Amino acid sequence: MNTVKKTIVGLTGGIGSGKSAAAKIFLALGVEVIDADALAREVVELGQPALSDIAAHFGDGILTTEGNLDRAALRSIVFSNPEHKSWLEGLLHPLIAELLQRRLDATKSPYAILESPLLLETEQHKLVQRVLVIDADEETQIARALRRDGGDEKTIRSIIASQINRDERVQRADDLVPNEASLEQLKVNIEALHSKYMEMVTE
Ligand code: ATP
């Protein structure tokens, strides 16, 4: 029997570009959205084998007193040592990719969205048929991230520097949605794309 591969659209963009805002609009249109960030947290929840592996490798210092992952402790270990970082990514990325694939396979809407800030930086782009980039200039990204999370501009700039650069991201887009105007404008643009995707999958 021939199985037709379901269309998955990868939704990505830099920090504060508006990925989650776009994802919400798709959800309201009845499109299922799988959130790679949420799933990445799920694989290291208490009781998950990956959490025990991480504690066995780095020691119980990366656990909180309740036995959960102490993200700040882990971050400081891996940021200061590239070998630790690649060990951790070698453990987590395949687990995340496998679970993402299962969740995407289980979606029921005519097409589904994979929302991921690291779609193009990791192998996750191999799970999707199209890449949708939400794009905003750096000043807009910083202003939004500060408004949303507080924190300081320097940290946000260093996160932007650690992500794929804007030109490359835009070049790899099959669909590009500029998001420097209002949320209403974003809604109009996402609704137009939704019509296009629905036509593509029902052709
Ligand atoms: P991150 O990668 O950090 O999770 P993100 O790309 O998911 O970021 P959002 O959380 O969607 O970004 O947007 C960042 C903030 O900017 C949110 O508070 C969101 O409501 C707001 N925002 C997004 N788009 C617009 C817009 N067009 N106009 C005004 N505010 C916006």
Res 172: pLDDT: 98
Q: How many domains does the chain have?
A: 1
pTM: 0.92
Q: How far is the CA of 21 from the centre of ligand 1 (A)?
A: 6
What's the confidence (pLDDT) of residue 3? Answer: 57
Residue 24 CA to ligand 1 center (angstroms) comes to 11
Whether 14 is covered by a domain: the verdict is: yes
- 69/37 Cα distance (integer angstroms): 15
Q: How many residues does the chain have?
A: 203
Q: What Cα–Cα distance (Å) separates residue 81 from each residue in 17, 54, 78, 84?
A: 29, 15, 5, 5
pLDDT of residue 5: 74
Using the atom order of ligand 1, give the atom closest to the CA of residue 186: 27
CATH number assigned to the domain comprising residue 146? 3.40.50.300
pLDDT value, residue 149: 86
Dist. CA 20 → ligand 1 center (Å):
6
Residue 37 in domain? yes
Ligand 1 lining (C-beta closer than 6 Å): 13, 15-21, 117, 144-145, 148, 179, 182-183, 186
Low-confidence ranges of the chain (pLDDT < 70): 1-4
Domain that holds residue 135: 7-44+104-202
Residue-level pLDDT at 4: 63
CA distance 51 to 69: 7
Could you report the per-residue pLDDT of 7-59, keeping only the tens digit for each?
Answer: 999 999 999 999 999 999 999 999 999 999 999 999 999 999 999 999 999 99
